[in-house]
Amino acid sequence: MNAIAPDSLQAQAPDAVQAAMEALEEDIVFGRLHPRERLTEDELMARFSMKRHAVRQVLAGLELLGAVEKKRNVGAVVRAFPAREVRELYALREMLEVQAASLIPLPVPPARLAALVAVQREHDAAVAEGDARRVFRSNQSFHREFFSLPDNTVLAQAIEEYARRTHPIRFGTLTSAASRERSRQEHWALIHALRDGDRDTLMTVCRNHLQPSRDAYLASLQARLGG
């Protein structure tokens, strides 16, 4: 049997770290891990069959994404967002996303509209099947495709960055079938507005699309704090 070269093992490590990051991010997004819940290195090493240095890379990556924070004498915990920060994050997202909608050249070329529709069909299927993971990932794909339409790379990157920062805030809507259906219908409203060249509707739907996840998190925060 041929020995596996050290270089091959090193090449596999980034994939394993990324996979573990995505799994933990989904646990946070879907509420399987709760705000302020502790993430211990030993438990993660056992779960993902990883060495300690790799687990630390995973936690550092999640900290950069804003999903985890390090607390002195405690270690890594799922990040809890205060109400003020939630409002500020969503105000920034609204500003960026509505601005992007205002910059989309209308009419949208048929090929680009067809590409967006194809992504949304995948999202439709995920919602219909109740597959939360596919809903989450296909939703990301839809927004990535939609916000590429202004052909402004810097703006698209900023939108994706701040959308990702609010992933831990979104569990209240991603776990609700009614909220997933509402989001799906709003995606189609955006597509129809693009098709009709209706800029006002495009901007309004973009603004309203953000509110349910913000409001659900604020409501859950208020409930945890006892009003």
31: tokens are: 């509420």
Q: Which helix (H) or strand (E) holds 178?
A: helix 177-196
pLDDT of res. 34? 86
- For residue 136, give the nearest of 98, 184, 192 by alpha carbon: 184
- Per-residue HEC secondary structure of 50-93 comes to CCHHHHHHHHHHHHHHCCEEEECCCEEEECCCCHHHHHHHHHHH
**How many domains would you assign to the chain?**
2
Residue 3 lies in a domain: no
Would you say residue 7 lies in a domain? no
| In a shared domain, residues 63 and 115 | no
Does the model's pTM come out above 0.85? no
How many other β-carbons are positioned within 10 Å of the β-carbon of residue 115?
15
> According to the model, what pLDDT value does residue 172 have?
61
The domain containing residue 108 runs over which residues? 83-226
> Which CATH number fits the domain that encloses residue 60?
1.10.10.10
Mean pLDDT by 10 residues, the chain (227 residues): 41 76 90 90 95 94 90 90 94 97 96 98 96 91 97 97 87 78 96 97 96 88 72
Is residue 218 assigned to a domain? yes
Q: Are 221 and 112 contained in the same domain?
A: yes
Q: What is the pLDDT of residue 5?
A: 43
63 and 90, same domain (yes or no)? no
Q: Residue 13: its pLDDT value, please?
A: 61
Query: Does 74 lie in the same domain as 90?
Result: no
Please, what is the angle between helix 153-165 and helix 132-146, to 10°? 150
Check whether residue 183 and residue 204 sit in a common domain: yes
**CATH number of the domain within which 141 lies:** 1.20.120.530
